Structure 1
Amino acid sequence: MARVVFLHPDLGIGGAERLVVDAAVALRSRGCRVQIWTAHHDPTHCFSETLDPDLPVECVGDWLPTSVFGYLHALCAYLRMIYLAFYLVFLSGVEYDVVVCDQVSVCIPVLRLSRPRKKVLFYCHFPDQLLSQRGGALRRLYRAPVDWLEEITTGMADMVLVNSLFTAGVFRETFRSLGGVHTDVLYPSLNTHSFNQAPTEEPGLQGLLPEGTSCTFLSLNRYERKKNLGLALEALAALRARLAPGLTAGLHLVVAGGYDERVSENVQHYAELKELAAGLGLEGCVSFLRSPSDSLKVSLLQGSAAVLYTPSREHFGIVPVEAMYCCCPVIAVQSGGPLESVADGETGFLCEPTAEAFSRAMEKLLRAPQLRRDMGHAGRRRVQEKFSLEAFSDQLHGYILRLTQ
């Protein structure tokens, strides 16, 4: 029985956190003893599985700062993860065989200090240095050693996995010195348990949507500027401008996603989007939801005409997979992970990241209810064939066995 510890910086409710939780649950189902170690875990802002006593979550180092006067986020994240790894290796007394870490690789040298040495598996969602803006000369000076550390420490893992072929290509382009490092693709899966249960926590969408709503589009992503959520609002405005008044009356957009009051960008961008909606004349046509529950998210996916997935060059993105499993077509930007998850013209549409392109795809689905149903059923089949939890569990367990043999 392999003993596996997952290390993750902040166990909130984003896509990376969903993958960590699903991976832990998957290995536990294969007989592994699993723990999750993190620097932050809020029981009121987390996935329900992390509250299960059978999936222990240890929180260490939350007293360390996440920034210095709103700056140095990367450096603080590095320090928190180094402390977390140091505590696990030297102070915890926990026995384990493999450590799985993601997002922050700088903790790997500390993990390699364990005696006897334990194996380290690093799951690369996307190079961290590509997720932050370069800025001016001072910022580039700050990022240079941080980026160098990311590359050097990533290469110190015993095994490196990536979440898509797209990320594998970006990994090779970004980490030039790691040309000899082999990367296997492990697509994120969908833990369908919560999607298969009838929503019970919420009264449904009746109290959420305005009376008379006949067609709902859904944007589901964290309140971050890089997610380009404004594109969904602009697409709705473009669609309304082109349609006859009779068709616009029941049209509604729900913008929902992860929101953490500790993150200034979440707070600022939420206000920016509400201001943009007002500027586009969409009052009464848009609802904004912050950190919806799993139950409400399922209701939204099941009740929407399509999900508008607006990020460009997204490394994978679990939202399109969730939508397709709920028989909801996906309209996504034709770059990054959606090129591998969404079948264009079959389970949704892949578009240029413009309001005009998105609005035309929305119009096709609005005018053709049968097309929505056909795409929805095709999407569910695609998830069952390509992104099942069973296949993910088998593949991940195989990697763990390879490391422990």
Structure 2
Amino acid sequence: MRVALYHPWVYLKSGLERTLLEIHRRSRHQVTIYTSHYDRDGTYPELAETGVVELPRVSVRRSYGQVLAAAAQIARTRIDPASFDALVISCEGLGDLLTLRNHDKPVLSLCFTPLRAVFDDAYRTRLLDRVGPVGRPLALGLEAGFRAIDRACWRHYSAAVAISDTIRQRIDAGGLWPADRVQVFYPGIDAGRIAAGSGSDPYFLISGRVMWTKNIGLGLEAFALAKKNLPGWRLVVAGMVDEKSRAYADDLMARGREIGDVEFRIGNTDAEMRALYDRCSALLFTPFNEDWGLTPLEAMAAAKPVIAVDRGGPRESVADGVTGFLAPDDPAAFAARMVQLAQDPALAKRLGEAGLERARLFTWDAFVSGLDDAIETMVEERRELVAV
């Protein structure tokens, strides 16, 4: 079966781009990736080998004007329906707009999240605080308009898949699609990489994109509180910084220098990231309301415990007190758990070993197989409907 897989922007080395790559690699169907913004130098180099199809380009900037321009362009973009048998729209916000001109064939929503600025209450609250009282009326007006348009777009879907139960509930709460009709398949890890690390060095790891939604300041302030009880310990922040987040990253690095024993490693290879997971003592997962999160799985696959914010996706991956700890979004709470793990190596080892076993529940093969099944069922149901 020919499957067109669309995502608005493919330009980072994030879990989302990794998911697109793994779908292309592992699907039993012929998958072609389409996007409205492709940066082959900024994302995984392997994606260039998949034959990514570039559609009319949109900006990745998040100002209101540029978002509206991107939305308008996506809404009027059309993919030749003769080139595919099923369309999968991978969306974290604006991708739904592609359905307006592309619903001749069955369309499946692979939902990473509905637009967070509208449908994620935790994100929405922080965003409204950021725009302040002057920008609030405009933000609320645009929000109301987008809600109406997005609900109309969702009527063009024939099936829906969410990457976590957190997202399934967000879809339902937003009035986009009934929860009992949304299937959940978890993006995961390569089963072949599930193996205990080669040791444990005295450092905590924060891994992933360096941007404001990742709440990395929580980890810095927690380490500042914990380090007086942890002589010789370090905090390593490893990931990538895109141009939009450069100022944020610079502020974090300045704070890290004030705290001391904080190391930023930007632009690592996959091998370098694996080495960091293998040698760390524990992972700190700090996003304030993550949709799912691959980095806790990577840590558990290396038999390392995870301390994560007790909200969103980590509630589904991290078993509190078994594979790590779920903690409030509070530096003191994180610091207490960090000290506990550092001073009790037997506990850290026990949690890590349990995480290693739990990681086996979340593999790429299981995710892609489930998605393939959902696509096939959708297409077959459409054929039966047409036949009637």
Q: What TM-score comes out, normalization by structure 2 length?
A: 0.86
Match of 1:111 among 92, 102, 105: 102
| Structure-2 residue corresponding to 1:271 | 250
1:208 is aligned to none
Question: 1:209 maps to which residue?
Answer: none
C-alpha separation in 2, matches of 1:66 and 1:316: 22
The worse-fitting range, judged by mean Cα deviation, of 332-341 and 126-135 is 126-135
Q: Which moved more, 1:160-169 or 1:137-146?
A: 137-146
Call closer, same or farther: CA 1:143–1:168 in 2, change over 3 Å.
same
TM superposition shift of 1:397 = 1.5
Equivalent residue for 1:59, pick from 54, 57, 73: 54
Structure 2 distance, partners of 1:73, 1:190, is: 34
Alignment of 1:166-315 (within 5 A): 166-175=166-175, 178-179=177-178, 182-192=181-191, 195=193, 214-241=201-228, 243=229, 247-248=230-231, 250-261=232-243, 263=244, 266-278=245-257, 281-283=258-260, 285-315=261-291
Distance 2:74 2:270 in 1: 28
Looking at structure 1, the residues matched to 267 and 66 of structure 2 have their Cα atoms a distance apart, in angstroms, of 22
CA contact (8 A) 1:66 1:76 kept: no
Figure out how many residues of one structure are paired with residues of the other and give that number. 363
Name the aligned partner's letter for residue 349 of structure 1. F
CA, structure 1 residues 355+184, in 2 after alignment: closer, same or farther (shift >3 Å)? same
Report deviation, 1:370.
Answer: 2.6
Q: Which runs of 5+ in 1 are unaligned?
A: 206-212
Letter in 1 for 2:84: Y
SS of match in other structure, 1:105: helix
Read off the aligned partner of 2:96 and give its amino acid letter. Answer: S
Q: Greater shift after overlay, 6-15 or 366-375?
A: 366-375
Residue by residue, what CA displacement relative to the aligned partner does 1:64-101 show, whole Å, maximum 9, x if unpaired? 44449x44343233234335x41x227xxx62111111
| Whole-Å separation in 2 of the counterparts to 1:155 and 1:298 | 42
Contact kept? 1:301, 1:326, Cα under 8 Å:
yes
* Correspondence 1:76 to 2:69: yes
Q: In the alignment, what sits opposite 1:6?
A: 5
Separation (CA, whole Å) in 1 of partners of 2:110 and 2:80: 20
Measured after TM superposition, the shift of residue 119 of structure 1 is 1.0
Query: How many angstroms does 1:316 deviate by?
Result: 1.0
Q: Letter of the 2:325 partner, please give it.
A: F
Q: Structure 1 401/368 Cα, relative in aligned 2: closer, same or farther at 3 Å? A: same
Is 1:156 equivalent to 2:162 in the alignment?
no
Greater shift after overlay, 3-12 or 370-379?
A: 370-379
The answer as to whether partners of 2:240 and 2:266 remain within 8 angstroms in 1 is yes
Equivalent positions of 1:35-50 (< 5 A) are 35-50=32-47
- Correspondence for 2:17: 17
> CA RMSD of the aligned region, Å?
2.6
Q: CA deviation at 1:171?
A: 1.7
Displacement after TM superposition at 1:364 (Å): 1.6
Q: Which amino acid aligns with 1:253?
A: L
Counterpart in 1 of 2:366? 391
Q: Match for 1:82: what amino acid?
A: A
Does residue 95 (structure 1) correspond to residue 92 (structure 2)? The answer is: no
Q: CA deviation at 1:331?
A: 0.4
Identity of aligned residues (%): 27
Q: CA deviation at 1:387?
A: 0.6
Asked whether the equivalents of residues 74 and 98 of structure 2 are also in contact (C-alpha less than 8 Å), the reply is yes
| Contact 1:75/1:146, CA 8 A, preserved across alignment | no
Could you state the TM-score of these two structures normalised by the residue count of structure 1? 0.83
Alignment of 1:365-384 (within 5 A): 365-384=341-360
**Gaps (5+ residues) in structure 2?**
381-388
Cα distance between partner residues in 2 of 1:171 and 1:73: 25
Residue 173 of structure 1 deviates from its aligned partner by 1.4
Deviations 1:29-88 (A, max 9, x none): x2x111111122222222243133xx22112223x44449x44343233234335x41x2
Matched position secondary structure for 1:315? coil
Q: Find the residue that maps to 1:316 and give its secondary structure.
A: coil
Paired letter, 1:389: W
Report if aligned partners of 1:3, 1:95 keep a CA contact under 8 Å in 2. Answer: yes
